[in-house]
Homo-oligomer: A and B are copies of this chain.
Amino acid sequence: MTVRLKDIASDLNLSKMTISKVLRGQTDISAATKARVLQRMKELNYRPNIAASSLRTGNTFSIGLVIPSLEDPFFTEIARGLVQTIRAKGYSLLISSAEEDPEIERREIELQLSRQVDALLVASVQESPEFFTALGAQKAPIILIDRKLPSFAAPFIGVRDQEIGYIAAVHLIKAGCSKPAYLRGPRTAAADLRYSGYRAALHEFNILFRPALVVEATEMDRNEYRRGYDAMNRLQAGRIRPDGVMCYTDLIALGVIDAALEKNLRVPEDIAVVGCGNLPSTREMRVPLSSVDLSGLEVGQRTAKLVLRALSADGVAPSRDLMLSPKMIVRRSSQS
């Protein structure tokens, strides 16, 4: 049923070796035999057994990816960028979801290593670097994506969190806002960095920082849209009315816009709104939403390039972190 090198060889009265050489494009084969072999391969619909060649060569031409969740568009975007880029070189992607569970993540990583992936990319949900350091030196390089772990020295690729808040605030300021509000995210290191970017922009442009214009996220904010809606209403009821709002997510921003429009404020004339994530569904809409794109696709593409280079040149240890910049996507909700 399955055609092997051996079958082609005996068919053609050649040795396995000759067939193998043709398969891999070695040059020490006469054009004539090469043609015959290729011909026969096509006839028999020969398909090389990559598992077998892997065993011999040590390369599987597969790359492992472990992400926290397949629901989050940011991570599927990363996967998309990866798949796009590695395909050209004949690599495949082995994908796992950790379901946000550190224990599952560990098991999936072990499994992928057992599968001899040539490189392992992880957007880790580990709380400590312990597991990774315990892994010791692997044949497969491990590369961290998006979430960095302290004191585990692995190449890292991520997005500059601080810039997210920064470019959004700068954009609002340049669009004429003198009182830009900020709807904060959760109290994580990454989210706090975004906030600090907002602060930095205000400072840089000599805009007075007003604590009243910063709205904290609470544990009860399960519903992002609602949160934006409520926050906007509260801001409008306050003494200081904002003329712009940066939101931690796009859905929050949609809530803000709806609340504003309902109060007969014009967006962006009376209040400009910027979201984050650049969700496809918010690009169209009543007021198309300006948003900070997290460059997930680019993270995937760049990671792929880096990995491919490391695997081919075989030695280029990508030592320093690779930090990508988020992109301000301006649409009507903040167009000056």
Contacts and interface: CB of A to CB of B under 8 A. Distances in A.
A258 interface: yes
Given A70-B76, A114-B48, A284 B223 contact: yes
Interface stretch (A10-18, A78-86, A176-184): A78-86
Contacts of A79: 70, 95
Question: How big is chain A's contact interface, by range?
Answer: 35 or more
Contacts of A96: 83, 87, 92-93
A52 B60 CA distance: 11
Interface in A275-325: 279-282, 284-286
B112 A92 contact: yes
A289 to B, nearest CB: 11
A39 to B, nearest CB: 17
Interface string A233-263: 0000000000000000011001100100000
Contact of A284 (B50, B54, B224): B224
B286 A94 contact: no
Contacts of A203: none
A211 interface: no
A25 interface: no
A137 interface: yes
Nearest to A90: B111
A97 interface: yes
Nearest to A223: B284
A255 B284 CA distance: 9
Contacts of A83: 70, 95-97
B2 A250 contact: no
A139 interface: yes
Contacts of A285: 225, 254, 258
A87 B2 CA distance: 28
Nearest to A95: B95
A83 B66 CA distance: 11
Given A99-B84, A284-B224, A285-B254, A111 B139 contact: no
A46 to B, nearest CB: 10
A187 interface: no
A1 interface: yes
A60 B71 contact: no
A114 B50 contact: yes
Interface string A91-115: 0111111010000100010111111
A281 B281 contact: yes
Nearest to A255: B284
Given A47-B113, A51-B115, A250-B281, 5 more contacts: A51-B116, A70-B79, A70-B83, A83-B96, A255-B284
Interface of A: 1-2, 45, 47-52, 54-55, 60, 62, 70-71, 76, 79-80, 83-84, 87, 90, 92-97, 99, 104, 108, 110-116, 134-137, 139, 223-226, 250-251, 254-255, 258, 279-282, 284-286
